[in-house]
Structure 1
Amino acid sequence: MDFREYQEQALKTDQVPSKTGKGITVPLLGLVGEAGELLIQYKKYLRDGEAHKLFPERVAEELGDLLWYIANVSSKFDLDLAEIAEGNLQKCRARWGWKDSVTGVYIFDSDFPEHERLPRQFEVEIMEVSENGSVKMKAFINGEKIGDDLTDNSYSSDGYRFHDIFHFSYAAVLGWSPVIRSNLKCNNVKRKRKSNPAIDEVEDGGRAIAIEEGLSALVFSYAKDHQFLEGVDTLDYQLLKTIKNMTSHLEVSQCSFGDWEKAILSGYEVWRQVEKNRGGMVISNLDERSIIYQDFEILS
Protein backbone atom coordinates (compact mmCIF):
# COMPACT_ATOMS: atom_id res chain seq x y z
CA MET A 1 0.00 0.00 0.00
CA ASP A 2 1.37 3.44 -0.91
CA PHE A 3 0.78 6.70 0.95
CA ARG A 4 -1.89 7.95 -1.43
CA GLU A 5 -3.98 4.79 -1.08
CA TYR A 6 -3.51 4.81 2.69
CA GLN A 7 -4.68 8.42 2.89
CA GLU A 8 -7.82 7.59 0.89
CA GLN A 9 -8.62 4.54 3.02
CA ALA A 10 -7.94 6.35 6.30
CA LEU A 11 -10.30 9.16 5.36
CA LYS A 12 -13.18 6.67 5.10
CA THR A 13 -12.88 5.98 8.84
CA ASP A 14 -12.92 9.66 9.87
CA GLN A 15 -15.64 10.23 12.48
CA VAL A 16 -15.39 14.04 12.30
CA PRO A 17 -15.13 14.69 8.55
CA SER A 18 -15.60 18.47 8.69
CA LYS A 19 -12.75 20.64 7.45
CA THR A 20 -13.49 23.30 10.04
CA GLY A 21 -13.92 23.46 13.82
CA LYS A 22 -13.75 20.05 15.49
CA GLY A 23 -12.81 18.44 12.18
CA ILE A 24 -9.46 20.22 12.39
CA THR A 25 -9.02 20.34 16.17
CA VAL A 26 -9.60 16.62 16.80
CA PRO A 27 -6.84 15.27 14.50
CA LEU A 28 -4.38 17.95 15.65
CA LEU A 29 -5.00 16.98 19.29
CA GLY A 30 -4.81 13.36 18.21
CA LEU A 31 -1.26 13.89 16.95
CA VAL A 32 -0.21 15.29 20.30
CA GLY A 33 -1.99 12.56 22.23
CA GLU A 34 -0.54 9.69 20.24
CA ALA A 35 2.96 11.17 20.48
CA GLY A 36 2.44 11.18 24.25
CA GLU A 37 1.30 7.55 24.18
CA LEU A 38 4.46 6.63 22.29
CA LEU A 39 6.55 8.29 24.98
CA ILE A 40 4.63 6.40 27.67
CA GLN A 41 5.50 3.09 26.01
CA TYR A 42 9.15 4.08 25.92
CA LYS A 43 8.98 5.10 29.59
CA LYS A 44 7.65 1.64 30.44
CA TYR A 45 10.46 0.06 28.46
CA LEU A 46 13.07 2.12 30.33
CA ARG A 47 11.47 1.13 33.63
CA ASP A 48 10.72 -2.55 32.95
CA GLY A 49 13.29 -3.45 30.30
CA GLU A 50 12.69 -6.83 28.66
CA ALA A 51 9.77 -7.41 31.01
CA HIS A 52 7.79 -5.03 28.82
CA LYS A 53 7.38 -7.78 26.25
CA LEU A 54 4.71 -5.99 24.25
CA PHE A 55 6.95 -2.97 23.62
CA PRO A 56 7.45 -3.57 19.85
CA GLU A 57 3.72 -4.19 19.30
CA ARG A 58 2.73 -1.13 21.32
CA VAL A 59 5.20 1.08 19.46
CA ALA A 60 3.89 -0.19 16.13
CA GLU A 61 0.33 0.53 17.24
CA GLU A 62 1.12 4.07 18.37
CA LEU A 63 3.04 4.77 15.18
CA GLY A 64 0.05 3.52 13.20
CA ASP A 65 -2.25 5.88 15.10
CA LEU A 66 0.16 8.76 14.47
CA LEU A 67 0.17 7.92 10.76
CA TRP A 68 -3.63 7.97 10.70
CA TYR A 69 -3.76 11.43 12.24
CA ILE A 70 -1.03 12.70 9.91
CA ALA A 71 -3.02 11.43 6.94
CA ASN A 72 -6.20 12.97 8.32
CA VAL A 73 -4.61 16.38 8.90
CA SER A 74 -3.20 16.21 5.37
CA SER A 75 -6.68 15.52 4.00
CA LYS A 76 -8.26 18.33 6.03
CA PHE A 77 -5.78 20.79 4.50
CA ASP A 78 -6.16 19.30 1.00
CA LEU A 79 -2.58 18.02 0.97
CA ASP A 80 -1.30 14.84 -0.68
CA LEU A 81 0.48 12.57 1.82
CA ALA A 82 2.57 10.98 -0.94
CA GLU A 83 3.78 14.40 -2.08
CA ILE A 84 4.52 15.36 1.53
CA ALA A 85 6.62 12.21 1.97
CA GLU A 86 8.53 12.79 -1.28
CA GLY A 87 9.11 16.46 -0.43
CA ASN A 88 10.48 15.46 2.95
CA LEU A 89 12.88 12.96 1.38
CA GLN A 90 14.14 15.62 -1.04
CA LYS A 91 14.67 18.00 1.87
CA CYS A 92 16.59 15.35 3.81
CA ARG A 93 18.71 14.41 0.81
CA ALA A 94 19.55 18.06 0.18
CA ARG A 95 20.42 18.56 3.85
CA TRP A 96 22.35 15.37 4.60
CA GLY A 97 23.01 13.51 1.36
CA TRP A 98 26.43 15.08 0.71
CA LYS A 99 27.93 13.24 3.69
CA ASP A 100 27.51 9.87 1.95
CA SER A 101 28.10 10.80 -1.67
CA VAL A 102 30.77 12.33 -3.87
CA THR A 103 29.53 14.91 -6.35
CA GLY A 104 31.26 17.11 -8.87
CA VAL A 105 31.89 20.78 -8.43
CA TYR A 106 29.25 23.17 -9.71
CA ILE A 107 30.60 24.74 -12.88
CA PHE A 108 28.66 27.94 -13.50
CA ASP A 109 31.13 29.37 -16.00
CA SER A 110 32.12 26.40 -18.18
CA ASP A 111 30.66 28.02 -21.32
CA PHE A 112 32.62 31.24 -20.88
CA PRO A 113 36.09 32.21 -22.16
CA GLU A 114 39.03 31.18 -20.00
CA HIS A 115 39.67 34.72 -18.74
CA GLU A 116 36.06 34.91 -17.47
CA ARG A 117 36.22 31.67 -15.49
CA LEU A 118 37.20 31.12 -11.90
CA PRO A 119 40.62 29.43 -11.89
CA ARG A 120 40.23 25.74 -11.07
CA GLN A 121 43.21 25.84 -8.70
CA PHE A 122 44.87 28.81 -7.04
CA GLU A 123 47.15 29.43 -4.08
CA VAL A 124 46.81 32.55 -1.93
CA GLU A 125 49.56 33.79 0.36
CA ILE A 126 48.02 35.53 3.37
CA MET A 127 50.08 37.83 5.57
CA GLU A 128 49.34 39.91 8.64
CA VAL A 129 51.07 43.28 8.94
CA SER A 130 50.92 46.25 11.30
CA GLU A 131 50.63 49.66 9.69
CA ASN A 132 49.91 52.97 11.38
CA GLY A 133 48.80 51.23 14.56
CA SER A 134 46.36 49.00 12.68
CA VAL A 135 46.61 45.25 12.07
CA LYS A 136 45.81 44.35 8.48
CA MET A 137 45.56 41.31 6.25
CA LYS A 138 47.22 41.27 2.85
CA ALA A 139 46.72 38.57 0.21
CA PHE A 140 48.92 37.68 -2.76
CA ILE A 141 48.78 35.27 -5.69
CA ASN A 142 52.11 34.63 -7.38
CA GLY A 143 53.49 37.69 -5.61
CA GLU A 144 50.72 39.95 -6.95
CA LYS A 145 48.48 41.62 -4.38
CA ILE A 146 44.76 40.83 -4.65
CA GLY A 147 41.85 42.67 -3.08
CA ASP A 148 42.13 45.39 -0.47
CA ASP A 149 44.01 45.37 2.81
CA LEU A 150 41.50 44.24 5.43
CA THR A 151 41.10 45.04 9.12
CA ASP A 152 38.63 43.57 11.58
CA ASN A 153 36.44 46.70 11.34
CA SER A 154 35.70 46.07 14.99
CA TYR A 155 36.47 47.60 18.40
CA SER A 156 38.00 44.28 19.40
CA SER A 157 40.33 41.94 17.50
CA ASP A 158 38.27 38.95 16.33
CA GLY A 159 40.05 37.82 13.17
CA TYR A 160 37.44 39.05 10.68
CA ARG A 161 40.30 40.57 8.69
CA PHE A 162 40.92 37.05 7.37
CA HIS A 163 37.35 36.63 6.10
CA ASP A 164 38.44 36.43 2.45
CA ILE A 165 39.12 32.79 3.29
CA PHE A 166 35.36 32.25 3.34
CA HIS A 167 35.11 33.60 -0.20
CA PHE A 168 37.92 31.28 -1.30
CA SER A 169 35.98 28.41 0.24
CA TYR A 170 32.74 29.37 -1.53
CA ALA A 171 34.67 29.46 -4.81
CA ALA A 172 36.33 26.09 -4.18
CA VAL A 173 33.38 24.11 -2.81
CA LEU A 174 30.42 25.82 -4.49
CA GLY A 175 32.09 27.04 -7.65
CA TRP A 176 30.58 30.44 -6.81
CA SER A 177 31.97 33.72 -5.54
CA PRO A 178 31.26 37.08 -7.17
CA VAL A 179 33.72 38.57 -4.65
CA ILE A 180 36.56 36.38 -5.89
CA ARG A 181 35.59 37.05 -9.51
CA SER A 182 35.99 40.74 -8.77
CA ASN A 183 39.27 40.33 -6.89
CA LEU A 184 41.06 37.84 -9.17
CA LYS A 185 42.28 39.06 -12.51
CA CYS A 186 43.39 37.48 -15.76
CA ASN A 187 45.61 39.65 -17.95
CA ASN A 188 44.80 42.51 -15.57
CA VAL A 189 41.05 42.11 -16.20
CA LYS A 190 38.55 41.01 -13.56
CA ARG A 191 37.10 37.54 -14.08
CA LYS A 192 33.57 38.86 -14.45
CA ARG A 193 31.50 37.39 -17.27
CA LYS A 194 31.33 40.51 -19.42
CA SER A 195 30.55 38.51 -22.55
CA ASN A 196 27.01 38.03 -21.21
CA PRO A 197 25.66 41.40 -19.98
CA ALA A 198 22.79 39.84 -18.01
CA ILE A 199 25.07 37.40 -16.18
CA ASP A 200 27.59 40.17 -15.58
CA GLU A 201 24.92 42.40 -14.04
CA VAL A 202 22.99 39.84 -11.97
CA GLU A 203 25.45 37.10 -11.04
CA ASP A 204 28.70 39.06 -10.93
CA GLY A 205 27.41 42.54 -10.11
CA GLY A 206 27.32 44.70 -7.01
CA ARG A 207 24.19 43.20 -5.50
CA ALA A 208 25.55 39.64 -5.69
CA ILE A 209 28.82 40.84 -4.15
CA ALA A 210 26.92 42.56 -1.33
CA ILE A 211 24.92 39.38 -0.68
CA GLU A 212 28.07 37.27 -0.46
CA GLU A 213 29.69 39.77 1.92
CA GLY A 214 26.49 39.78 3.98
CA LEU A 215 26.53 35.99 4.16
CA SER A 216 30.11 36.02 5.38
CA ALA A 217 29.21 38.48 8.14
CA LEU A 218 26.08 36.52 9.06
CA VAL A 219 27.91 33.21 9.35
CA PHE A 220 30.80 34.85 11.21
CA SER A 221 28.38 36.12 13.85
CA TYR A 222 26.97 32.60 14.21
CA ALA A 223 30.44 31.02 14.28
CA LYS A 224 31.65 33.47 16.90
CA ASP A 225 28.94 32.20 19.24
CA HIS A 226 29.97 28.59 18.55
CA GLN A 227 33.74 28.63 19.16
CA PHE A 228 34.31 29.48 15.51
CA LEU A 229 32.93 26.04 14.62
CA GLU A 230 35.83 24.13 16.15
CA GLY A 231 34.65 20.57 16.75
CA VAL A 232 31.37 21.33 14.95
CA ASP A 233 30.26 19.10 12.08
CA THR A 234 26.63 20.20 11.71
CA LEU A 235 25.25 23.70 11.25
CA ASP A 236 21.91 25.03 12.40
CA TYR A 237 19.21 24.34 9.82
CA GLN A 238 17.71 27.82 10.17
CA LEU A 239 21.07 29.40 9.33
CA LEU A 240 21.36 27.31 6.17
CA LYS A 241 17.76 28.08 5.25
CA THR A 242 18.44 31.81 5.59
CA ILE A 243 21.45 31.47 3.30
CA LYS A 244 19.37 29.61 0.72
CA ASN A 245 16.66 32.27 0.88
CA MET A 246 19.17 35.10 0.42
CA THR A 247 20.64 33.44 -2.68
CA SER A 248 17.42 32.00 -4.16
CA HIS A 249 17.57 34.24 -7.26
CA LEU A 250 21.21 33.48 -8.06
CA GLU A 251 22.93 30.59 -9.84
CA VAL A 252 24.26 29.31 -6.53
CA SER A 253 20.67 28.39 -5.60
CA GLN A 254 21.46 25.05 -7.28
CA CYS A 255 23.74 24.23 -4.34
CA SER A 256 22.16 22.26 -1.52
CA PHE A 257 22.10 22.82 2.22
CA GLY A 258 24.83 20.21 2.45
CA ASP A 259 26.98 22.04 -0.11
CA TRP A 260 26.77 25.22 1.93
CA GLU A 261 27.50 23.35 5.13
CA LYS A 262 30.62 21.80 3.59
CA ALA A 263 31.78 25.16 2.21
CA ILE A 264 31.34 26.91 5.57
CA LEU A 265 32.93 24.18 7.69
CA SER A 266 35.87 23.82 5.28
CA GLY A 267 36.39 27.57 5.24
CA TYR A 268 36.41 27.84 9.02
CA GLU A 269 38.82 24.93 9.35
CA VAL A 270 41.29 26.94 7.28
CA TRP A 271 40.36 30.27 8.89
CA ARG A 272 41.16 28.96 12.38
CA GLN A 273 44.65 27.92 11.27
CA VAL A 274 45.31 31.21 9.48
CA GLU A 275 44.08 33.20 12.48
CA LYS A 276 46.20 31.13 14.86
CA ASN A 277 49.39 31.47 12.78
CA ARG A 278 48.68 35.01 11.59
CA GLY A 279 48.97 33.96 7.98
CA GLY A 280 49.85 31.08 5.72
CA MET A 281 49.10 29.63 2.31
CA VAL A 282 45.51 28.86 1.34
CA ILE A 283 45.09 26.39 -1.52
CA SER A 284 41.74 26.27 -3.30
CA ASN A 285 40.88 23.47 -5.73
CA LEU A 286 37.54 23.70 -7.55
CA ASP A 287 38.03 20.33 -9.24
CA GLU A 288 38.36 18.58 -5.89
CA ARG A 289 35.94 20.88 -4.07
CA SER A 290 38.56 21.50 -1.42
CA ILE A 291 40.34 24.27 0.44
CA ILE A 292 43.38 23.49 2.59
CA TYR A 293 45.96 25.36 4.67
CA GLN A 294 49.72 25.15 4.63
CA ASP A 295 51.96 26.87 7.14
CA PHE A 296 54.81 29.02 5.80
CA GLU A 297 57.25 26.94 7.87
CA ILE A 298 56.15 23.77 6.09
CA LEU A 299 56.47 25.42 2.71
CA SER A 300 59.97 26.61 3.48
Structure 2
Amino acid sequence: MHLARYQQAAIKTLRPPADGHDPVLVPLLGLIGEVGSVATAYKKRIRDGAGIGHGKQQLREELGDVLWYIAALAHCLDLDLEDIAAASLEKIKDRWRVTPVADRTAFDAEYPDHEQLPLRTTVTFTPTEDDKGRTVVVLTREDGSRAGDPLTSASHIEDDYRFHDAFHLAHAAVLGWSPVSRFLLGCKRRSRPGVDEAEDGGRAIAIEEGISALVFSYAARHGYFEEVRSVDHELLTTIEHMTAHLEVSVMRAADWEEAIMVGYHVWHQLRENNGGAVELDLEKRTLTYRKE
Protein backbone atom coordinates (compact mmCIF):
# COMPACT_ATOMS: atom_id res chain seq x y z
CA MET A 1 0.00 0.00 0.00
CA HIS A 2 1.26 3.48 -0.88
CA LEU A 3 1.64 5.90 1.99
CA ALA A 4 -0.64 8.45 0.34
CA ARG A 5 -3.45 5.90 0.08
CA TYR A 6 -2.87 4.82 3.65
CA GLN A 7 -3.04 8.39 4.91
CA GLN A 8 -6.26 9.05 2.98
CA ALA A 9 -7.81 5.90 4.44
CA ALA A 10 -6.56 6.62 7.95
CA ILE A 11 -8.01 10.11 8.21
CA LYS A 12 -11.45 8.79 7.33
CA THR A 13 -11.47 7.25 10.80
CA LEU A 14 -10.18 10.42 12.49
CA ARG A 15 -12.84 11.77 14.81
CA PRO A 16 -13.34 15.54 14.83
CA PRO A 17 -12.05 17.30 17.97
CA ALA A 18 -14.39 18.48 20.67
CA ASP A 19 -15.42 22.12 20.45
CA GLY A 20 -12.62 24.44 21.44
CA HIS A 21 -9.93 21.73 21.49
CA ASP A 22 -6.75 21.74 19.44
CA PRO A 23 -7.18 19.09 16.67
CA VAL A 24 -3.46 18.23 16.94
CA LEU A 25 -3.63 17.32 20.62
CA VAL A 26 -5.35 13.91 20.45
CA PRO A 27 -3.15 12.48 17.62
CA LEU A 28 -0.04 13.85 19.32
CA LEU A 29 -0.85 12.37 22.73
CA GLY A 30 -2.02 9.18 21.06
CA LEU A 31 1.30 8.82 19.26
CA ILE A 32 3.20 9.26 22.51
CA GLY A 33 1.03 6.64 24.17
CA GLU A 34 1.39 4.13 21.35
CA VAL A 35 5.17 4.46 21.28
CA GLY A 36 5.07 3.51 24.94
CA SER A 37 2.89 0.53 24.05
CA VAL A 38 5.48 -0.64 21.52
CA ALA A 39 8.12 -0.48 24.25
CA THR A 40 5.88 -2.45 26.60
CA ALA A 41 5.20 -5.10 23.95
CA TYR A 42 8.90 -5.50 23.33
CA LYS A 43 9.56 -5.72 27.05
CA LYS A 44 7.13 -8.65 27.20
CA ARG A 45 8.89 -10.24 24.22
CA ILE A 46 12.19 -10.08 26.11
CA ARG A 47 10.59 -11.38 29.29
CA ASP A 48 8.58 -14.21 27.71
CA GLY A 49 10.94 -15.08 24.86
CA ALA A 50 10.90 -14.26 21.16
CA GLY A 51 9.39 -17.63 20.39
CA ILE A 52 6.04 -16.72 21.97
CA GLY A 53 3.70 -16.38 18.98
CA HIS A 54 1.52 -13.56 20.23
CA GLY A 55 4.54 -11.33 20.94
CA LYS A 56 5.27 -10.62 17.29
CA GLN A 57 1.59 -10.15 16.52
CA GLN A 58 1.26 -7.65 19.37
CA LEU A 59 4.26 -5.67 18.10
CA ARG A 60 2.69 -5.65 14.63
CA GLU A 61 -0.53 -4.22 16.03
CA GLU A 62 1.18 -1.61 18.19
CA LEU A 63 3.37 -0.44 15.30
CA GLY A 64 0.22 -0.20 13.18
CA ASP A 65 -1.32 2.09 15.80
CA VAL A 66 1.83 4.23 15.75
CA LEU A 67 1.56 4.51 11.97
CA TRP A 68 -2.11 5.53 12.21
CA TYR A 69 -1.36 8.31 14.69
CA ILE A 70 1.55 9.52 12.54
CA ALA A 71 -0.75 9.69 9.53
CA ALA A 72 -3.44 11.51 11.54
CA LEU A 73 -0.93 13.93 13.05
CA ALA A 74 0.56 14.68 9.63
CA HIS A 75 -2.93 15.41 8.31
CA CYS A 76 -3.69 17.77 11.20
CA LEU A 77 -0.43 19.61 10.51
CA ASP A 78 -1.20 19.77 6.75
CA LEU A 79 1.72 17.48 5.93
CA ASP A 80 1.91 14.68 3.37
CA LEU A 81 3.03 11.29 4.66
CA GLU A 82 4.83 10.37 1.44
CA ASP A 83 6.68 13.69 1.47
CA ILE A 84 7.67 13.09 5.10
CA ALA A 85 8.98 9.63 4.22
CA ALA A 86 10.94 10.89 1.21
CA ALA A 87 12.50 13.73 3.20
CA SER A 88 13.40 11.30 5.99
CA LEU A 89 15.24 9.02 3.56
CA GLU A 90 17.18 11.97 2.15
CA LYS A 91 18.15 13.05 5.65
CA ILE A 92 19.28 9.54 6.55
CA LYS A 93 21.27 9.25 3.32
CA ASP A 94 23.00 12.57 4.02
CA ARG A 95 23.90 11.49 7.54
CA TRP A 96 24.90 7.86 7.06
CA ARG A 97 25.79 7.19 3.41
CA VAL A 98 29.19 8.40 2.29
CA THR A 99 29.21 9.74 -1.27
CA PRO A 100 30.79 7.12 -3.57
CA VAL A 101 34.23 8.17 -4.82
CA ALA A 102 33.02 8.10 -8.44
CA ASP A 103 30.22 10.56 -7.61
CA ARG A 104 32.26 13.10 -5.68
CA THR A 105 32.60 16.57 -7.15
CA ALA A 106 36.02 17.74 -8.37
CA PHE A 107 35.73 21.41 -7.52
CA ASP A 108 38.78 22.40 -9.56
CA ALA A 109 38.53 20.05 -12.57
CA GLU A 110 38.13 22.94 -15.04
CA TYR A 111 41.13 24.89 -13.77
CA PRO A 112 44.77 24.82 -14.94
CA ASP A 113 46.84 21.98 -13.49
CA HIS A 114 48.79 24.28 -11.17
CA GLU A 115 45.50 25.50 -9.64
CA GLN A 116 44.22 22.00 -8.90
CA LEU A 117 44.77 20.15 -5.66
CA PRO A 118 47.48 17.60 -6.53
CA LEU A 119 46.19 14.10 -7.19
CA ARG A 120 49.05 12.73 -5.12
CA THR A 121 51.47 14.56 -2.88
CA THR A 122 53.38 14.18 0.36
CA VAL A 123 53.64 16.73 3.14
CA THR A 124 56.20 16.28 5.91
CA PHE A 125 55.62 17.46 9.49
CA THR A 126 58.91 18.23 11.26
CA PRO A 127 58.99 19.44 14.89
CA THR A 128 61.89 21.77 15.56
CA GLU A 129 62.93 24.48 17.99
CA ASP A 130 62.65 28.09 16.83
CA ASP A 131 64.79 31.05 17.86
CA LYS A 132 62.46 31.69 20.82
CA GLY A 133 63.00 28.23 22.23
CA ARG A 134 59.53 27.04 21.28
CA THR A 135 58.80 23.69 19.68
CA VAL A 136 57.17 24.36 16.35
CA VAL A 137 56.04 22.13 13.50
CA VAL A 138 57.40 22.94 10.05
CA LEU A 139 55.53 21.63 7.01
CA THR A 140 57.44 20.94 3.80
CA ARG A 141 56.25 19.90 0.37
CA GLU A 142 57.74 17.21 -1.82
CA ASP A 143 60.12 19.73 -3.41
CA GLY A 144 61.44 20.70 0.01
CA SER A 145 59.76 24.12 0.09
CA ARG A 146 57.95 25.36 3.18
CA ALA A 147 54.17 24.93 3.33
CA GLY A 148 52.84 27.80 5.43
CA ASP A 149 54.33 29.13 8.64
CA PRO A 150 55.78 27.09 11.53
CA LEU A 151 53.02 26.20 14.00
CA THR A 152 52.81 25.95 17.77
CA SER A 153 49.76 24.64 19.59
CA ALA A 154 48.94 28.26 20.56
CA SER A 155 47.65 27.13 23.94
CA HIS A 156 48.63 27.35 27.61
CA ILE A 157 48.34 23.55 27.67
CA GLU A 158 50.28 21.50 25.12
CA ASP A 159 47.67 19.46 23.25
CA ASP A 160 49.56 18.91 19.97
CA TYR A 161 47.23 21.13 17.99
CA ARG A 162 50.43 22.09 16.16
CA PHE A 163 49.81 19.00 14.00
CA HIS A 164 46.30 20.16 13.07
CA ASP A 165 47.12 20.74 9.39
CA ALA A 166 46.49 17.01 9.12
CA PHE A 167 42.80 17.89 9.46
CA HIS A 168 42.96 20.28 6.52
CA LEU A 169 44.77 17.72 4.39
CA ALA A 170 42.04 15.20 5.32
CA HIS A 171 39.42 17.68 4.14
CA ALA A 172 41.29 17.92 0.83
CA ALA A 173 41.63 14.15 0.52
CA VAL A 174 38.09 13.12 1.47
CA LEU A 175 36.02 16.14 0.46
CA GLY A 176 38.18 17.48 -2.37
CA TRP A 177 37.91 20.82 -0.58
CA SER A 178 40.24 22.78 1.68
CA PRO A 179 41.07 26.48 1.32
CA VAL A 180 43.85 26.00 3.86
CA SER A 181 45.39 23.14 1.88
CA ARG A 182 45.21 25.21 -1.29
CA PHE A 183 47.20 27.89 0.50
CA LEU A 184 49.71 25.40 1.92
CA LEU A 185 50.19 23.63 -1.42
CA GLY A 186 50.18 26.80 -3.54
CA CYS A 187 47.21 25.90 -5.74
CA LYS A 188 44.72 28.70 -5.16
CA ARG A 189 42.47 29.37 -8.16
CA ARG A 190 43.79 32.80 -9.03
CA SER A 191 42.73 32.59 -12.67
CA ARG A 192 39.18 33.37 -11.52
CA PRO A 193 39.40 36.26 -9.03
CA GLY A 194 35.83 35.79 -7.82
CA VAL A 195 36.40 32.13 -6.98
CA ASP A 196 39.82 32.89 -5.50
CA GLU A 197 38.26 35.46 -3.18
CA ALA A 198 35.05 33.63 -2.21
CA GLU A 199 36.20 30.00 -2.13
CA ASP A 200 39.96 30.16 -1.52
CA GLY A 201 40.34 33.51 0.24
CA GLY A 202 40.60 34.72 3.80
CA ARG A 203 36.99 34.19 4.84
CA ALA A 204 36.89 30.60 3.56
CA ILE A 205 40.23 29.91 5.25
CA ALA A 206 38.91 31.35 8.51
CA ILE A 207 35.80 29.15 8.26
CA GLU A 208 37.87 26.01 7.75
CA GLU A 209 40.16 26.95 10.62
CA GLY A 210 37.06 27.56 12.73
CA ILE A 211 35.75 24.10 11.86
CA SER A 212 39.11 22.60 12.79
CA ALA A 213 39.09 24.35 16.18
CA LEU A 214 35.42 23.52 16.81
CA VAL A 215 35.88 19.82 16.08
CA PHE A 216 39.09 19.73 18.16
CA SER A 217 37.20 21.11 21.15
CA TYR A 218 34.57 18.40 20.65
CA ALA A 219 37.25 15.74 20.14
CA ALA A 220 38.99 16.72 23.39
CA ARG A 221 35.81 15.73 25.24
CA HIS A 222 35.57 12.42 23.35
CA GLY A 223 39.06 10.98 23.71
CA TYR A 224 40.19 12.55 20.44
CA PHE A 225 38.24 9.82 18.60
CA GLU A 226 40.57 7.02 19.67
CA GLU A 227 37.59 4.76 20.39
CA VAL A 228 34.66 6.91 19.25
CA ARG A 229 33.94 6.45 15.55
CA SER A 230 31.04 8.85 15.06
CA VAL A 231 30.26 12.53 15.50
CA ASP A 232 27.11 14.04 17.00
CA HIS A 233 24.61 15.14 14.39
CA GLU A 234 24.42 18.61 15.95
CA LEU A 235 28.12 19.21 15.29
CA LEU A 236 27.78 18.12 11.67
CA THR A 237 24.77 20.41 11.30
CA THR A 238 26.82 23.33 12.62
CA ILE A 239 29.52 22.58 10.04
CA GLU A 240 26.83 22.42 7.37
CA HIS A 241 25.59 25.88 8.38
CA MET A 242 29.13 27.29 8.45
CA THR A 243 29.80 26.10 4.89
CA ALA A 244 26.33 26.62 3.39
CA HIS A 245 27.55 29.34 0.99
CA LEU A 246 30.65 27.44 -0.14
CA GLU A 247 31.14 24.83 -2.87
CA VAL A 248 31.65 22.09 -0.28
CA SER A 249 27.99 22.45 0.74
CA VAL A 250 27.14 19.69 -1.78
CA MET A 251 28.94 17.13 0.39
CA ARG A 252 27.00 15.01 2.86
CA ALA A 253 27.25 14.98 6.62
CA ALA A 254 28.57 11.43 6.28
CA ASP A 255 31.42 12.75 4.11
CA TRP A 256 32.35 15.28 6.77
CA GLU A 257 32.33 12.58 9.42
CA GLU A 258 34.65 10.46 7.27
CA ALA A 259 36.99 13.44 6.73
CA ILE A 260 37.10 14.10 10.48
CA MET A 261 37.89 10.48 11.31
CA VAL A 262 40.60 10.24 8.63
CA GLY A 263 42.17 13.47 9.88
CA TYR A 264 42.24 12.34 13.49
CA HIS A 265 43.65 8.93 12.59
CA VAL A 266 46.62 10.64 10.93
CA TRP A 267 46.87 13.27 13.70
CA HIS A 268 47.24 10.50 16.30
CA GLN A 269 50.11 8.98 14.33
CA LEU A 270 51.86 12.34 13.94
CA ARG A 271 51.41 12.95 17.64
CA GLU A 272 52.67 9.51 18.71
CA ASN A 273 55.73 9.64 16.43
CA ASN A 274 56.42 13.36 16.88
CA GLY A 275 56.10 14.09 13.19
CA GLY A 276 56.39 12.21 9.93
CA ALA A 277 55.12 12.33 6.37
CA VAL A 278 51.51 12.38 5.21
CA GLU A 279 50.56 11.11 1.75
CA LEU A 280 47.47 12.57 0.10
CA ASP A 281 45.76 10.65 -2.71
CA LEU A 282 42.76 12.41 -4.23
CA GLU A 283 41.91 9.56 -6.61
CA LYS A 284 41.49 7.10 -3.73
CA ARG A 285 40.32 9.83 -1.35
CA THR A 286 42.85 8.72 1.25
CA LEU A 287 45.34 10.31 3.63
CA THR A 288 47.99 7.98 5.02
CA TYR A 289 50.82 8.38 7.48
CA ARG A 290 54.41 7.38 6.81
CA LYS A 291 57.03 7.48 9.51
CA GLU A 292 60.19 9.27 8.38
TM-score range, shorter chain: over 0.9
Alpha-carbon spacing, 1:50–1:165, altered in 2? closer, same or farther (3 Å): closer
Counterpart of 1:200? 196
2:28 aligns to what? 28
Match of 2:135 in 1: 135
Structure 2 counterpart of 1:111: 110
Are residues 51 and 271 of structure 1, via their aligned partners in 2, closer, same or farther at CA, if it must alter by over 3 Å? closer
CA contact (8 A) 1:108 1:176 kept: yes
The amino acid that maps onto 1:173 is V
TM-score by length of 1: 0.92
Say if 1:118 and 1:19 are closer, same or farther in 2 by CA, change over 3 A: farther
Unaligned runs of 5+ in 2: none
What percentage of aligned pairs have identical amino acids?
47
Structure 2 residue aligned with 1:256: 252
Specify whether residues 168 and 18 from structure 1 end up closer, same or farther in structure 2 by C-alpha distance, changes over 3 A only. Answer: farther
User: Once the 2 structures are TM-superposed, how far is the Cα of residue 52 of structure 1 from its aligned partner?
Assistant: 3.9
Do the aligned partners of 1:173 and 1:290 also contact (CA within 8 Å) in 2? Answer: yes
- What is the rounded CA distance, in whole Å, between the counterparts of 1:103 and 1:244 in structure 2? 22
Larger deviation, residues 233-242 vs 25-34: 233-242
Question: How far, CA to CA, are the matches of 2:24 and 2:74 in structure 1?
Answer: 10
Q: Residue 64 of structure 1 aligns with which residue?
A: 64
The structure with the greater share of residues assigned to strand is 1
Distance 2:248 2:49 in 1: 50
CA deviation after TM superposition for structure 1 residue 182, in Å = 1.6
In structure 2, distance between residues paired with 1:136 and 1:119: 26
Alpha carbons 1:282, 1:291 under 8 Å: kept: yes
Moved more, 223-232 or 48-57: 48-57
In 1: Cα distance, 2:208 partner to 2:39 partner? 44
Q: Using structure 2 for the length normalisation, give the TM-score.
A: 0.95
Aligned to 2:10: 10
Which stretch of structure 1 is more off in the superposition, 45-54 or 21-30? 45-54
Quick check: 1:128–1:279 contact (8 Å CA) kept in 2?
yes
| Structure 2 SS opposite 1:165 | helix
Whether 1:239 aligns to 2:238 is no
Deviations 1:122-179 (A, max 9, x none): 1011111122231111100121111011111100100101111100010111000111
Asked whether the equivalents of residues 101 and 284 of structure 2 are also in contact (C-alpha less than 8 Å), the reply is no
Q: In the alignment, is the contact (CA less than 8 A) between 1:281 and 1:295 conserved in 2? A: yes
Aligned pair in 2 of structure 1 residues 194, 21: CA closer, same or farther (>3 Å)? farther
**Alpha-carbon offset, residue 21 of structure 1:** 3.4
Secondary structure of the corresponding residue to residue 272 of structure 1: helix
Q: What's the CA shift for 1:72? A: 1.0
**1:103 Cα offset (Å):** 4.0
RMSD across aligned positions (CA): 1.7
User: How many residue pairs are counted as aligned between the two chains?
Assistant: 290
